[in-house]
Amino acid sequence: MNQATTALLDADLIVAEDVISIDESIEARYRELDEQSIVLLARQQPVATDLRTIVAALRISVDLQRMGVLARHVAEVARQRHPSCAVADSMRDTIRSMGEVAQRIIAKARGVIISKDAQAALALTANDDEMDLLHHELYRRLLSESYEPDARTVVDITLIGRFYERFADHAVSVARRVAYIAGEGALD
């Protein structure tokens, strides 16, 4: 998503293509993870924490796969609009901040997966609130009376805003599912 934000703000076609090709390798790993989870369920007949871990992994893999798709969607908007930039000057700072929050939240989600720290997992929600605020800010700017964008720009920015917001939602889901492994909360 970091690269997708660069592709979008710099109207950089090479970075955009790179994000799109990275997503394909995420798809392959997603299927690998599914297969490994199912083999473990069949062969090890896990219970308690082991079972919760594999069930959570089956959900987390979907989240990570969707996050890859959402980053690709952002890069696709950059590619479609190239050599123009899809983001007007008045919205660059908000989009850049959304990219930064996305980067922070995925770094934390990664940390939570490794540490299995339920408290850190729950703390991730604060970053999601930050993303929601930026998302509202983006729409406020888009709908401000002083700004009269063409319809195409409004469509692009609306979708981009939604992609970042959903990206953050999935990162929070990943964290919540790690908390579930530790015995806190529902699988969700």
Of the pair 6, 65, the CB lying nearest its own copies is at 65
CB of 164: closest distance to its own copies in angstroms? 14
Of the pair 107, 185, the CB lying nearest its own copies is at 185
CB of 183: closest distance to its own copies in angstroms? 13
Query: How far apart are the C-alpha atoms of 141 and 95, rounded to whole Å?
Result: 11
Q: Around Cβ 182, how many Cβ atoms within 10 Å?
A: 17
Are 78 and 156 within 8 A, CB to CB? no
Of the pair 123, 154, the CB lying nearest its own copies is at 154
101 φ/ψ angles, rounded to the nearest 5 degrees: -65, -40
Of the pair 90, 103, the CB lying nearest its own copies is at 90
The residues of the shown chain that bind its own copies, judged by CB under 8 A, are 31, 34, 37-38, 41-42, 45, 47-48, 51-52, 55, 58-59, 62, 139, 142-143, 147-149, 151-152, 154-155, 158-159, 162, 186-188
Are 150 and 84 within 8 A, CB to CB? no
CB of 51: closest distance to its own copies in angstroms? 6
Structure tokens, 156: 């692009």
Q: Coil, strand or helix: which one is 99? A: helix
CB of 32: closest distance to its own copies in angstroms? 10
Query: How far apart are the C-alpha atoms of 39 and 167, rounded to whole Å?
Result: 29
